[in-house]
Structure 1
Amino acid sequence: MKLKSIIFSVFVAVFMMSCNENKKDKMSENQTKKEVTAKDILGNPEYLAISYGGYREKQREVQPTIPELKEDMKILSAMGIKVLRTYNVHFAQAENLLKAITELKNEDAEFQMYVMLGIWIDCENAFDFSKGEPNHNAESERNAVEVNTAVELANQFPDIVKILAVGNEAMVKWATSYYVEPWIILKWVNHLQDLKTSGELSKDLWITSSDDFSSWGGGDPMYHTEDLQKIANAVDYISMHTYPYHQSHYNSDFWKVPENEEHLSKKEKVDAAMLRALDFAQRQYDSVSNYMKSIGVNKPIHIGETGWASVSNGHYGKNGSRATDEYKQGLYHQHMREWTNKANISCFYFEAFDEQWKDAQNPLGSENHFGLINLKSEAKYPIWNLVDEGVFDGLNRDGKPITKTYNGNLEALMKDVLVPNTNYPKD
């Protein structure tokens, strides 16, 4: 009896130790999930990033529903995406997106999706000429509402919102309808940093402004201002945009087929051009990095936006630079992911799905066609391989399974691929 009692006691002790270890593991696992911060996410290739809107219709007043947002989140998660970038909190989309992610997390404890929440900033009279010309040295009254709403959402969803971005291309001078002078961005960045200091926002929440590479000092010296230096010192990291796609028209030296490549086949010329596009993006990144070093700022630099459109009836189509097609889009996506993942740079690729509101009056306008998945629920060439791998099996968007454009026929796609062109009038 004594031996049985000893054996039973040992069994109970082992069982209790095992239970305690399991509890510790679960606590550790839950703790790890709760403690994921921007610092853990940014620059980590395990947290692929993408820009996301989710709008289906030709006007943003028609908001994506929570079921539609959840549908998209499942698709993006299947693609390996774990970080989204949004652009404003004007509409219900941002809050509903956070609710959709919360529901998915409640349904599946393993589900992960984090958000870089965009705060739209613009100037007085932006987009409203009835009130007069845009006043770039004064700000819209709406800005304060945007900031306060974003703060509320960050506090309401701290497990999801990891970054706040003050403005989207809000300082670059070519944004003539709405850009603001840097002091306005600085004002709101400092405000958010003060809220972190006072404990009204999480100290782990990172603050940035997402803007064109030139606005971060990588281009025209006119941006090399004292206020820009103050912004660079105030943000937690630099979020810069680079678009070789647009520069194929506006700054096309890199896009021209050099004489020593004239003998190559069409495909070889295109392949070489897309390597030059990658090099162009890398040089813009380096230009920002070099400027930051020159002013004594040593902070992470990530790519807040870059992408390549698959359709254009404008500057980038047949009688323009001919940058536009799914094959080039696929190469650019591949090159950017490979480079940034290897270099530990986060790249918020633009964008997840086509959105037709952006150029609603021109269905073939390039702005409507930057998505990796079109409005027919077809995966474009950059992610045909994911369809082949079955990552979308069982998933639908708007009642349709994810299939391939061109029915997956590369030969048919290549008929729409044209050699880069720079010999045309530019206005």
Structure 2
Amino acid sequence: MLNKSGQLTSLEQLSGRKHGQAICYSGYREGQNPRLGIYPSYEQIKQDLLLLKDWSYLRLYDCSQHAETVLSVITNENLNFALMLGVDIAAEVSNPNCPWGAHFSEQQLALNRQANSDDIERLIDLTSRYPQHVFSVSIGNEASVDWTDHMVPVERLVEFAQRIKSKIDVPITFCENYVPWTNKLAPLVAELDFISIHTYPVWEFQSIDNALEYTKQNYYSVQQCNPGVPIVITEAGWTTQSNGCGIETWNASDTLQAEYYQQLLRWTNSEKILTFVFEAFDEPWKGSDDPQEPEKHWGLFYVDRSPKLVMQDA
């Protein structure tokens, strides 16, 4: 099938899988935190995945114990999910442009480089062990955009992609804000099977009235710069609370989340654009200690797994 620009949809080009609903999944509940090594249990992940049974595709962010448990649950419980597996890469250079600070000692950066290399090997290992469930892999998340606190040089990302390609046969991508795909990531595109973009109108002070049009502009700007390259949206969503830090308080609510979700899916389903909604569940470990920190409230479900309005209307 062709979209309006005459481009084959990425899903058909890459895997022959049917278009389906996709969602970003991190299963961390109250008191759990990947930074502290406190992970959800097998039974908790099983509960989550049964709640998400209407989605066909899941995106995971790392290759930690969390990811391994997710793959175990899918295998043991015979669940029908296709996974995008990722790595949680750390800063390999300092970034003075990061608003909240990203200066690191050379010793720390050296440790990060080794940790990133180790994570790439874990990605390769998990994909090799669960080839029936992993339909693609990502070499990182938001590690090249100007404001990131975990900047990794483009040439290093190219190295990651080449290393994976030499060891496993699986489609490779990198998940990033839409802007770097229009300029600095050109050397990386040549090594990837498809591009994965993030688009967040609410983070860029857009109202619900023009949010979808803004998302479309983000998507098509990347497509125009990379003709013929398949593009997936790996993050798009709307937070339901904000303390005013980066997102105005009036522009975050259950109602606005539900409206954007409905608009987004109408467009992406009509165009057969694989789109991972951000995200399945609220994550209280994220961001600052402020309970209204917007980073904590992107889930379609609350942290107690009760549905938000967006799911009640579904």
Is the TM value for this pair above 0.5? yes
Indicate the residue corresponding to 1:374 in structure 2: 302
Q: Does 1:345 align with 2:273?
A: yes
Indicate the residue corresponding to 1:216 in structure 2: 181
3-state SS in 2 of match to 1:119: coil
Determine the C-alpha separation between the residues in 1 that align with 2:144 and 2:56: 28
Which runs of 5 or more structure 2 residues have no equivalent in the other structure? 1-11, 95-100
Per-residue Cα deviation, 1:169-218 (whole angstroms, up to 9, x for no partner): 0111100x2111211111111111222xxxxx2x3x2100010101111x
Per-residue Cα deviation, 1:226-247 (whole angstroms, up to 9, x for no partner): xx22211211111011000100
Q: Conserved in 2, the CA contact under 8 Å of 1:210 and 1:238?
A: yes
Alignment of 1:286-305 (within 5 A): 286-293=220-227, 298-305=228-235
Determine the C-alpha separation between the residues in 2 that align with 1:143 and 1:316: 29
Determine the C-alpha separation between the residues in 2 that align with 1:37 and 1:53: 28
Indicate the residue corresponding to 2:195 in structure 1: 238
1:157 corresponds to which of 112, 130, 143 = 130
Alignment of 1:241-252 (within 5 A): 241-248=198-205
Per-residue Cα deviation, 1:31-62 (whole angstroms, up to 9, x for no partner): xxxxx995233xx43x2110000000342222
Indicate the residue corresponding to 1:26 in structure 2: none
Q: Does 1:311 align with 2:311?
A: no
3-state SS in 1 of match to 2:28: coil
Determine the C-alpha separation between the residues in 2 that align with 1:104 and 1:290: 42
Indicate the residue corresponding to 1:56 in structure 2: 29
Q: 1:128 deviation in Å?
A: 8.5
Q: What letter corresponds to residue 369 of structure 1 in structure 2?
A: H
Determine the C-alpha separation between the residues in 2 that align with 1:69 and 1:310: 23
Alignment of 1:412-423 (within 5 A): none
Q: Does 1:355 align with 2:283?
A: yes
Q: Does 1:194 align with 2:166?
A: yes
Determine the C-alpha separation between the residues in 1 that align with 2:108 and 2:93: 5
Q: 1:322 deviation in Å?
A: 2.0
Q: Conserved in 1, the CA contact under 8 Å of 2:58 and 2:83?
A: yes
Q: Conserved in 1, the CA contact under 8 Å of 2:241 and 2:249?
A: no
Determine the C-alpha separation between the residues in 1 that align with 2:199 and 2:104: 33
Per-residue Cα deviation, 1:107-166 (whole angstroms, up to 9, x for no partner): xxxx31111001122333779967359869x96211111110011100101111111101
Q: Conserved in 2, the CA contact under 8 Å of 1:313 and 1:364?
A: yes
Change (3 A) 1:326 1:133: farther
2:214 corresponds to which of 264, 274, 280 = 280
Q: 1:333 deviation in Å?
A: 0.6
Q: Conserved in 2, the CA contact under 8 Å of 1:125 and 1:131?
A: no
| Structure whose CA Rg is larger | 1
Deviation larger for 365-374 or 53-62: 53-62
3-state SS in 2 of match to 1:93: helix
Determine the C-alpha separation between the residues in 2 that align with 1:329 and 1:345: 20
Determine the C-alpha separation between the residues in 2 that align with 1:275 and 1:190: 42
Q: 1:327 deviation in Å?
A: 0.4
Q: Conserved in 2, the CA contact under 8 Å of 1:326 and 1:382?
A: yes
Let me know the Cα RMSD of the aligned residues. 2.4
1:82 corresponds to which of 49, 53, 56 = 56
Return the structure number with greater helix share.
Answer: 1
Deviation larger for 283-292 or 51-60: 51-60
Q: What letter corresponds to residue 154 of structure 1 in structure 2?
A: T
Q: Does 1:331 align with 2:264?
A: no
3-state SS in 2 of match to 1:288: helix
Q: TM-score of the superposition, structure 1-length normalised? A: 0.65
Indicate the residue corresponding to 2:3 in structure 1: none
Q: What letter corresponds to residue 57 of structure 2 in structure 1?
A: V
Q: Conserved in 2, the CA contact under 8 Å of 1:49 and 1:348?
A: yes
Indicate the residue corresponding to 1:120 in structure 2: 88
Q: 1:299 deviation in Å?
A: 1.6
Alignment of 1:172-183 (within 5 A): 172-175=145-148, 177-183=149-155
Q: TM-score of the superposition, structure 2-length normalised? A: 0.87
